[in-house]
Amino acid sequence: AQGREDFDKPIQINAERESFDVAKKVAVFDQNVVIRQGSLSIRADHLEVTRRDDQTDVFTATGSPAVYEQQLDDGSPITAEAEIISYDQSQQLLTLSGNVKVSQENSVIQGSEIIYNFATQQLSANRSEDDADRVTTIFMPKKKSDNQNEPTNR
Amino acid sequence: CGFQLRDDYQLPPAMQTVSVQAPAFSEFQQVLERRLNLAGAKLDGTQQKSLIIEVLDDTLDRRTLSLSQSGQVAEYEMIYTVYYQLIEQGEVSAQQQVEVYRDYQDDPNFALAKTREREVLVQEMREEAARLLLRQTIAYLTE
Amino acid sequence: QQPSRPALSEVCPIPAPLFTTPISPIKDLPIGAIGVRADRADIDSESEVASFFGNVEVQFDQQQLRTEQAQIDQQTGNINASGSTLFTDGYVQVSSENFRLNSGENRAFLSGAEYQLTETGAHGKADLLSLSPAQVLLEGSTFTTCPSDSPVWQMSAQEISLNEDEAWGEAWHAKFELFGVPVLYLPYINFPVTEERKSGFLFPTFGSSQKNGFEVEVPYYFNIAPNMDATIAPRYMAERGVQMQAEFRTLSTTGSGQYNVAYLESDKSTEDNAARYLWRVEQTQRWGENWRAYVNGTFISDDDYLNDLGSDFAGRADAQLYRHAQLDYLSEDWQVTMRAEDFELLGSYRSPYRTMPQIKSFYATDLGLDLDFSLFSEMSHFQNQDLSQDTATRVHVEPQLSFHLEQPGYDWLAELSYAYTYYNQEFELERSRSKNPSRSLPTFRWRGRVNLERTIDIQQQSYTHTLQPQIQYLYIPYRDQTGIGIYDSTLMQDDYQGLFRARRFSGLDRIADANQVTIGASSSLFDQQAREVARVSFGQIYYFENSETQLLESSTATTESRSDLALETRFRINNNMYFNSSIQYNLELDSTRKSQTTLEYRLDEFNLIQLSHRTVTNLLENDVEQVGMLGVVELSPTWQLASNWYYDLQNNRTNDAFIALQYSDCCWAMRISGYRRINRNLELNAGMPAVGEPEFDNGISIQFIIKGLGSDNRSLLDMLEQSLFGYRHPFHLSN
């Protein structure tokens, strides 16, 4: 599936300031936070990593906006921007919220909240109740643009 | 009684040099150019400031005026119409029109001779239309 | 100051678009991309299928879709939408149960659809509607241009195809319903969806008349190529049978052609079930700057064809059809024409002469100092239509020198010409024609005119009043021309213009001797826009010797002097009243030769009434006096009354009477008219023009016309134009 191998790679996080709250088991990173894991990278202003009982982590990065980039299997990049990007390792759910924009090679999705499930490869965008405009998706169908010149075979 | 020789007929300055544009093979163009020549206008299309009289179309319509005893047409009315517009330094006027009416008797016993007479009438109507067009253009330019 | 007539839009509103609130465009949507707005979007990046739910709006190029939920395959661009969907591509708007776009074929499919053409409002239902860039295909569908939901007429068909850039629709297995009742079944039909490309009603027309009985005409239009089209219009007449009418038109940058044929195999209303046909050719063609060819000819099966079946190309009462083919060479000062002319005379008249061919050339050059030289020459070969051995060849040469000085105040014209004509007449027995007569004679004409002008005020309006006295001397010596046959000469009508012509006979077979002075004056009144409001002209000829040349008998010799007074005037009495009159008075005979007076009250193009009176004395040995009335009244935006009536005071009979009531709605019109006109059955009485009272044809005609939207042809005036006296038949201007 897309970008699966990245998740076996070690995670590197560097930032200008780090601190650790032992009681709540939360690590906090501030200013120019960069998380890297294989081809995946997240840049944010503030990152909190909480370790849960089942020893899996939940990353919550905030930025204006926080930027998520990854290399897909076919080498095409995927980037996403949002005010809050959080990744739940155990459920393998990436949740972006706050004028989110996800752009892939031939498509762009904008909305107030987008959830990407790495396991099922499902991305779903929702319009929050209070938010006025709906989710906007723009994409350029490859097939359509490819066969502009090829004779269409019936 | 107030009549004097028409001497203020000098063409308005805009008409000193004139050029006539018309559809291909237009007999009316030659009649109009002769009339303009006689009226003293210089026919020259190269001048930038010369007035262009563009003849758009000329049509000859025929209408029944009266019936003979047998119920067939005794007289026709011929209506010769010229549609034209004036172009001064690129500025195109609204479409203008000149109409000349002549009635003409039909005599099937002299079909070919009556056709020749009709040709004479049409030529006279063209000359009349050219005179009217010149007079209308002068009035339009000196308005 | 005219009362504001309700605009067509109030009477025939274009139905509201199905798209009540247009979709606001998605910002910076690249060309070819698909933009979607929805409450929720789920994208499976594995299969790259995106599904959208809630207030879904899809936009690609100019197409817009609004639906409840849609699946879009990001790979192929295929779209599937269900729930009540609304779709438009600018040309057609469709509301349907679902929508499927096959992006590869670029074709969309909607089922259970209601559609409406944005521009004209034509609308209907379709079980399945399929759309490609410029074509809409409807299966199991209906089509109507009536705005209301219960349309007066509607077409339901197995398949309808509407073509955007064709402005035409086609339908297969079409059923026509009037007021909900199926009236006509057609395996195939095409019909205009907008007004361009071809004028006239190209929807089926139904009607009935006394002579033809029930009548239906269904035109089929074939757009063969951008510069070529054809129309086939079968016309079923209960009393006569089915007449096939076909028209083919072609247009190129250097010429155009129109070919027509109307063929009725056997006319049931005639005893011998004769075939009735009309065929017509008209083609112009140009080569380069100087060469042009023109052919124009109308041919009919019998003399009564026009009277019985009518035609767009000749009036019902025409007495002859002129046919000619011509080749012209035109350059700056030299024109050569070669032509052949032929006539079809309706009724039995003197057999006409054909020119087979005639070559004429005219050369003119300016010698400067107001001197012009011109050389007119002509070679004609005449052939009598009925007696083919009666032929003659004529050669004519006429050089002319003319001096024409024109100044604003006066103009002076002097012409000297010498005409030489030689004949070779084969048929010299008849009336003492000689085999090779020839004739040569000079013509001298001198004319002086003075132009006087002044401005005067009438009712605070300033007019230019012109006075143009003129004098002309004409000298042509007498030549004995009795040995020459009469081919294209006849005495020209004697009106004011004739007084100043150099020739009294048309053509060249007779050149009348003349030694005469004509004096005359013409005075006109011009308004500010140089429109001639009134003109009085007077002319008198003094003959120093009587002109001896005659045509056939002696009647054309002249008396001592001849003078005519011509009066013409047309002016506006007030805002809506117009008066127009012209009189020609012969002082010798002290009689009015010709008079025409018209009084018109015109409110606007839809409300006018015109009264006219015309008299002519001694026109082909009998007098003419006819009065006429023509009127159109708009009773309401949808009801109109029109009538014309021409009464012949000389023969005490109605020449033509017609009254019509029209109800006209946005998409259909109904005309009920009564007519009384002379029924010229020339074949019946062996073609001799009926001496006694001609037969009359009275009838009632009902016409039901289906029309497209937007065409404001509610005026009955064009219908009056079609009536006998209103008919304006365009003439070719090649001569």
pLDDT tens, position by position, C576-588: 888 888 888 877 7
pLDDT tens, position by position, C244-299: 999 999 999 899 999 999 999 999 988 889 999 999 999 999 998 899 999 999 99
Contact list, C40 vs chain A (CB under 8 Å): 124-127, 135
Report the neighbours of B using a cutoff of 3 or more CB pairs below 8 angstroms. C
For chain B, the 3-state helix, strand and coil shares in percent, each to the nearest 5, are 35, 40, 30
Q: Are C114 and C96 in contact (CB under 8 A)?
A: yes
What pLDDT is stored for residue C88 in this prediction?
86
Q: What is the DSSP letter of C347?
A: S
According to DSSP, the residues that pair with C242 across neighbouring strands are: C236
Q: Are C38 and A135 in contact (CB under 8 A)?
A: yes
What is the spatial distance between Cα C659 and Cα C674, in angstroms, rounded to a whole number? Answer: 5
CA-closest candidate to residue B137, choices B86, B87, B101: B86
Q: Burial-class residue A110 by CB neighbours within 10 Å (0-12, 13-18, 19+).
A: buried
What is the spatial distance between Cα A2 and Cα A74, in angstroms, rounded to a whole number? Answer: 9
What is the spatial distance between Cα C375 and Cα C365, in angstroms, rounded to a whole number? Answer: 9
B-proximal residues of C, 244-303, CB under 8 Å: 286, 289, 292
For chain B, say whether C227 makes contact (Cβ under 8 Å): no
Taking each helix axis from N to C terminus, what angle separates B27-38 and B111-141, rounded to the nearest 10 degrees? 50
Higher per-residue pLDDT: C735 or C378: C378
Q: Are C18 and C114 in contact (CB under 8 A)?
A: yes
Name the CA radius of gyration of chain B, rounded: 18
* Paired sense of beta strands A135-139 and A107-117, if any: antiparallel
CA-closest candidate to residue C550, choices C478, C476, C473: C478
**pTM greater than 0.90 (yes/no):** no
**Torsion angles phi and psi, residue B132, rounded to 5:** -65, -40
* Interface ipTM above 0.90: no
Structure tokens at C693: 């009272």
Contacts (Cβ under 8 Å, ≥6 apart) of A32 = A15, A16, A43, A45
Contacts (Cβ under 8 Å, ≥6 apart) of C422 = C394, C395, C396, C436, C438
3-state secondary structure of C657: strand
What is the spatial distance between Cα C250 and Cα C233, in angstroms, rounded to a whole number? Answer: 18
What pLDDT is stored for residue A134 in this prediction?
80
- B63:C404 CB<8 A: no
- C32:A109 CB<8 A: no
CA A102 to chain centroid = 8
What is the spatial distance between Cα C606 and Cα A80, in angstroms, rounded to a whole number? Answer: 69
Name which of C531, C532, C614 is nearest B66 (Cβ-Cβ).
C614
Query: How many angstroms separate the Cα of B92 from the Cα of each of B33, B44, B54, B98, C474?
Result: 20, 18, 10, 18, 45
Interface residues on A facing C, Cβ-Cβ cutoff 8 A? 1-2, 104, 106-107, 109, 111, 121-127, 133-145, 147-148, 152, 154
Chain A residue at shortest CA distance from C61: A140
Structure tokens at C481: 């021309």
**Torsion angles phi and psi, residue B12, rounded to 5:** -60, 150
Read off the pLDDT band of B77 (50, 70, 90). Answer: confident
CB pairs under 8 A between A and C: 101
What is the spatial distance between Cα C529 and Cα C659, in angstroms, rounded to a whole number? Answer: 38
For chain B, say whether C531 makes contact (Cβ under 8 Å): yes
What is the spatial distance between Cα A127 and Cα A97, in angstroms, rounded to a whole number? Answer: 10
In the predicted model, is pLDDT for residue C660 greater than 60? yes
pLDDT tens, position by position, A89-124: 888 888 998 888 888 777 788 888 888 887 887 888
**Beta-carbon count within 10 A of A42 CB:** 23
**Torsion angles phi and psi, residue C544, rounded to 5:** -70, -35
Structure tokens at A46: 């503030």
The end-to-end CA distance of chain B, in Å, is 26
- Which of C294, C728, C734 is the mutation pick for testing B, counting most B CBs within 10 A? C728
What is the spatial distance between Cα C601 and Cα C580, in angstroms, rounded to a whole number? Answer: 12
What pLDDT is stored for residue A70 in this prediction?
85
CA-closest candidate to residue B127, choices C327, C606, C569, C501: C501
- C35:A127 CB<8 A: no
Q: Are C39 and A126 in contact (CB under 8 A)?
A: yes
What pLDDT is stored for residue C532 in this prediction?
79
Q: What is the DSSP letter of C695?
A: P
pLDDT < 70 regions, chain A: 1-5, 7-8, 130-132, 141-154
Contact list, A121 vs chain C (CB under 8 Å): 44-46
At position B22, the amino acid (one-letter code) is: A
What pLDDT is stored for residue C442 in this prediction?
96
**Beta-carbon count within 10 A of C40 CB:** 18
In the predicted model, is pLDDT for residue C401 greater than 70? yes
**Torsion angles phi and psi, residue C423, rounded to 5:** -120, 150
